Amino acid sequence: MSLIVVGTMAFDAIETPFGKSDRIIGGAATYIALSASNFVKPIKQISVVGGDFPQEELDHLSSLGVELEGVQIKKDEKSFFWAGRYHMDMNERDTLDTQLNVLANFTPVVPDSYQDAEFVMLGNLVPAIQMSVLNQMKKKPKLVVMDTMNFWMETAMADLEKVLKHLDVLLVNDSEARQLSGQYSLVKAAKTIMGMGPKYLVVKKGEHGALLFHEDKVFVAPALPLEEVFDPTGAGDTFAGGFVGHLAKTKDISFENMKTAIIVGSAMASFCVEKFGTARMKEIDKADIQSRIQQFVDLVNFDISII
Amino acid sequence: MSLIVVGTMAFDAIETPFGKSDRIIGGAATYIALSASNFVKPIKQISVVGGDFPQEELDHLSSLGVELEGVQIKKDEKSFFWAGRYHMDMNERDTLDTQLNVLANFTPVVPDSYQDAEFVMLGNLVPAIQMSVLNQMKKKPKLVVMDTMNFWMETAMADLEKVLKHLDVLLVNDSEARQLSGQYSLVKAAKTIMGMGPKYLVVKKGEHGALLFHEDKVFVAPALPLEEVFDPTGAGDTFAGGFVGHLAKTKDISFENMKTAIIVGSAMASFCVEKFGTARMKEIDKADIQSRIQQFVDLVNFDISII
């Protein structure tokens, strides 16, 4: 079962309390593909890069089963660039620099060879671009998952509301869920947001884990307590990649299996934050992932037979 | 197996975004006893109240199996009083008024009839008073659990460090764990704090649940996602009561059973916040508790056989 991934492939420069990176590879679609490729192949990538994007990064993605026909390479332009600084609590960050570059005029094209994909992951991007990809799909996908952020709620709310109506699953963090719904209680926020289109809502809470809402049901997943969160960049995208990767692999989009997908996503995100940028994601193998998922089982497992 | 509970029995006046209470019954030991009495009898209460404390509240506690021989009644004085206001996120509160009254000169006395208790729950109180209770115990209890707060870290750190050495389990919230240890990472904070005495550390994170640390092990419990947290006053004490109540009932102080105790405490706390003050705690019965605990099982249960 193949998976379309839409999003940025970019350069980041990151400062955390633990150190500072040079210009390193980043972008939502990069993290999503690196994470999802552990579960499903092929991944059909849709993005845009400049001539400065390293060929070896593209080759590495290809070697993982990521098809790049939908990735536009604008040789005379520069890739999207973001620089940011995290604070001690790692949930807050300041944007130091944003250079749209190739993103300024990005018009995504869904290649014919992508039309058979039944799973679509719309990474955080201009809502109109996310909508354009869905509009190009000749057959309604089995599952559409989307990530977004507060910036689009403030600058492109009408477009965002339009694309929300076409989603199965929306992923946002807790403050974004509150902003989008105008509700402080996450339970109420989830009801409001599911009224806007998505059948499922995943609320990411960083070090506090994640919540999955569907109809009147709710599931809570922990984050792995870590000695150090070295760099949270890409953790949300890596979570999304594990989540949708597991669903595309198993082809089961029930609430029960989405709970498992949340755990898989959480496990993948817990690797991502251990090193700067994509470094840790490029090291791990299937055995690492299996053992990390087992840690999550141990983390939440308890016996109520005694009560 | 009997349980000694030490702490305040008091009056509170509470403001939340949802309303304002009159002067209502509160105090750490009140909430702990109301919660723990669902699991273990007798509870041997140690506290102090003024002549203004309602006889019917004392009678109600007695009817639940709470022994009051250790509760000093100072007829010509007033009970401890606290007034506070919660903000929208309910994790922050301002103290509007504190009147120590009977607490100003409180010297706890452990009655002879309490000496057989094997479980001791030291509710949040002046560390020297907590220590005085332990010093009066002729036989080392099977388990000593203690709650404390940032105020004592700022005003009585030497006394707090002394009593920490005599604990089995310390309960604090996340900001207090960071303050006590000087560590931002809760995993590192837990190691530092366990080095100060307690063999187990429970970190309460309000709406984000709770963590249990012991040696190199960790357990994560969720909080129940609620439409509304009406009044968080007493939630931490109610958690403590459920936690120690389950341990005293089962007489099993293993890490495995402490995990279950954390879930029991979380379930009890989820009731407490549904109404002002102790109102909800006085309504619930065993069937309510069983069904709430089952909700926690459903909340975190997932299937990894498919992975």
Q: What confidence score (pLDDT) does residue A306 get? A: 60
Residue A119 lies in a domain: yes
Residue B94 lies in a domain: yes
At A90, the pLDDT band (50, 70, 90 cuts) reads confident
Whether the predicted pLDDT of B42 surpasses 70: yes
Q: What confidence score (pLDDT) does residue B203 get? A: 98
Q: What confidence score (pLDDT) does residue B303 get? A: 83
Handedness of CA A52, A54, A55, A57 (dihedral sign): negative
Residue B86 lies in a domain: yes
- Calculate ∠ Cα A155-A160-A163, nearest 5°: 160
Whether the predicted pLDDT of A304 surpasses 90: no
Q: Do B222 and A209 touch (CB under 8 A)?
A: yes
Q: Least CA distance to B224: which residue of chain A?
A: A220
Q: Do B290 and A307 touch (CB under 8 A)?
A: yes
The tokens 């009801």 sit on which residue? A191
pLDDT, tens digit (0-9, with 9 covering 90-100), for B3-23: 999 999 999 999 998 889 989
Residue A305 lies in a domain: no
Domain membership of residue A9 as a residue range: 3-300
pLDDT, tens digit (0-9, with 9 covering 90-100), for A17-37: 888 998 999 999 999 999 999
Q: Least CA distance to A250: which residue of chain B?
A: B306
Q: Which residues pair with B221 in a beta bridge?
A: B210
Q: What is the mean pLDDT of residues A270-292?
A: 96
The tokens 């549904």 sit on which residue? B274
Q: Which one of B185, B208, B225 has the shortest CB-CB distance to A187? A: B225
Q: Which one of A184, A186, A256 has the shortest CB-CB distance to B225? A: A186
A226 in contact with chain B, both atoms CB, cutoff 8 A: yes
Residue B130 lies in a domain: no
Residue B285 lies in a domain: yes
Q: What confidence score (pLDDT) does residue B241 get? A: 98
Residue A79 lies in a domain: yes
At A144, the pLDDT band (50, 70, 90 cuts) reads very high
* Residue A31 in tokens: 């993290």
**Minimal Cα–Cα distance from A146 to chain B, Å?**
23
Whether the predicted pLDDT of B230 surpasses 70: yes
Which of B39, B174, B208, B218 has the most A C-beta neighbours within 10 Å, making it the best mutation to test the interface with A?
B208
Whether the predicted pLDDT of A89 surpasses 80: no
Q: Do B259 and A302 touch (CB under 8 A)?
A: yes
Percent of chain B with pLDDT over 90: 93
B259 in contact with chain A, both atoms CB, cutoff 8 A: yes
The tokens 């508790």 sit on which residue? B289
Q: Do A306 and B219 touch (CB under 8 A)?
A: no
Q: What is the mean pLDDT of residues B70-74?
A: 98
Cα–Cα distance, A195 to B228 (Å, whole number): 19
pLDDT, tens digit (0-9, with 9 covering 90-100), for B254-273: 999 999 999 999 999 999 99
At B90, the pLDDT band (50, 70, 90 cuts) reads confident
Q: Which one of B184, B257, B300 has the shortest CB-CB distance to A300? A: B300
Burial code (b: 16+ CB inside 10 Å, e: under 16) for B215-251 equals eeebbbbbbbbeeebbbbbbbbbbbbbbbbbbbbbbe
Q: Which one of A220, A229, A301 has the shortest CB-CB distance to B299? A: A220
pLDDT, tens digit (0-9, with 9 covering 90-100), for B181-215: 999 999 999 999 999 999 999 999 999 999 999 99
How confident is the prediction for chain A on average, in pLDDT? 95
| Domain harbouring A161, CATH code | 3.40.1190.20
Whether the predicted pLDDT of B88 surpasses 90: no
Q: What confidence score (pLDDT) does residue A307 get? A: 62
Whether the predicted pLDDT of B136 surpasses 90: yes
Whether the predicted pLDDT of A1 surpasses 80: no
Is residue B205 within 8 A of residue B236, CB to CB? The reply is: no
Cis peptide before B42, with omega less than 30 degrees from 0? yes
Q: What is the mean pLDDT of residues B295-305?
A: 88
Instruction: Determine phi and psi for A94, rounding to 5 degrees.
Output: -105, 135
Whether the predicted pLDDT of B307 surpasses 80: no
Q: What is the mean pLDDT of residues B26-35?
A: 98
Q: What confidence score (pLDDT) does residue B188 get? A: 97
Q: Least CA distance to B306: which residue of chain A?
A: A250
Q: What confidence score (pLDDT) does residue B306 get? A: 60
User: Which residues in chain A have Cβ-Cβ distances shorter than 8 Å to B247?
Assistant: none
How confident is the prediction for chain B on average, in pLDDT? 95
Strands (E) in chain A, as ranges, are 3-6, 10-16, 19-20, 24-26, 43-50, 66-74, 81-86, 93-99, 119-122, 143-147, 169-173, 200-204, 210-214, 217-221
Domains: count for chain A: 1
Q: Do A205 and B208 touch (CB under 8 A)?
A: yes
Q: What is the mean pLDDT of residues A144-157?
A: 96
Q: What confidence score (pLDDT) does residue A18 get? A: 85
Q: Do B293 and A304 touch (CB under 8 A)?
A: yes
* Residue B283 in tokens: 């309504």
Is residue A202 within 8 A of residue A243, CB to CB? The reply is: yes
Residue A307 lies in a domain: no
Ranking A91-100, A123-132, A180-189, A275-284 by mean pLDDT, the lowest is A91-100
